[in-house]
Structure 1
């Protein structure tokens, strides 16, 4: 059974940095990301929908630039779930929001950095300006992903993270992690 790929791979008029798509998404967070139609599915919605299915795969064939963004966001979600599971007592929704927002804005490697775990599959940004815009885009995407993940984790109203999400904390997509 093959892994699920991004439906945004064939999008036209998308800015590329290296070989990574900078896709539009819905966001309340300020940043350089293009604004998506509020009534349509964006890359973050797609990542959250595909996370649990794709996290079961050890191999992933990259079929386009949107898949590269999908991989980064799936690995970030894995790191978020690991961060939440690391605490002895399950955090409240407010505590989880603070923790994951801090994780989202912490310094992290981007494609081209020496400690980026998937450099073999990503092209480095052409110059410093592109690298800075990629970092800003990924910070905004990580913040929005963390906010939407918390909404999904605590959707049942019990005040505890959903076991149907936290059971994936031990799973490693492609046996990789973005964790520092």
Structure 2
């Protein structure tokens, strides 16, 4: 059974930095991301929907620029769940939000950096300005994704993270991690 791919791979008028697609996002966080139509889903909704299913796969065939962004975001969600799961007591929603926002804005490697985990599958940005744009875009997207993940983790109102999400904290998509 093949992994689930992004439906946004079919879009042709998408800016690419290296070979990572820059897709519109519904967000209130400042940054360079294009603004998405509020009535439709975006790449972050798709990532959250596909995360648990794709986490079960060791192989993933990249079919376009949206899949490259999807991989980065799925690995970021894995790192978020691992970070939340590493605390001794379950975090409250506010603590989890603060922890994941800090993780989202921490310095991280982008495609083309020497310590980026998946450099073999990604083209480096064409210039230093493109690399900085990609870093800013990914920072904005990571912040919004962390906020949406916290909403899903604590959606049941019990004040504890969902066991159905936290059960994926040790599972690694493609046996990789963006973290150390």
Confirm whether residue 33 of structure 1 aligns to residue 33 of structure 2.
yes
How many positions carry a matched residue from both structures?
180
Matching of residues 93-132 of structure 1 within 5 Å:
93-132=93-132
Deviation digits for residues 93-117 of structure 1 (CA, Å, limit 9, x no counterpart):
0000000000000000000000000
Rounded Cα–Cα distance in structure 2 between residues aligned with 1:166 and 1:55: 12
- State the TM-score, normalizing by the size of structure 1: 0.99
User: Are 1:6 and 2:11 matched, yes or no?
Assistant: no
Partner residue in 2 for 1:45? 45
Superposed counterparts of 1:10-29, under 5 Å: 10-29=10-29
- Measure the CA separation in 2 of the matches of 1:97 and 1:12: 35
Q: Does 1:145 align with 2:136?
A: no
Matched residue, 1:174: 174
Matches within 5 A, 1:50-61: 50-61=50-61
Distance 2:118 2:69 in 1: 12
The Cα shift of 1:10 comes to 1.2
- Matched residue SS, 1:9: helix
TM-score (norm 2): 0.99
Query: How far is the alpha carbon of 1:13 from its aligned partner?
Result: 1.4
SS in 1 for 2:7: coil
RMSD between aligned residues: 0.4
How far residue 12 of structure 1 moved from its aligned partner, in angstroms, is 2.1
CA distance in 2, matches of 1:39, 1:149: 19
> What are the Cα deviations for residues 111-136 of structure 1, in whole angstroms up to 9, with x where unaligned?
00000000000000001000000000
The runs of 5 or more residues in structure 2 that have no matched partner are none
Q: Secondary structure at the match of 2:10?
A: coil
**CA-CA distance at 1:33 after TM superposition:** 0.2
Q: Can you list the C-alpha shifts for 1:44-93, whole angstroms capped at 9, x where unaligned?
A: 00000000000000000000010000000000000000000000000000
Any stretches of 5+ residues in structure 1 without a counterpart? none
Q: Distance in 2 between matches of 1:149 and 1:51?
A: 11
Q: Within 2, Cα distance between the matches of 1:174 and 1:59?
A: 6
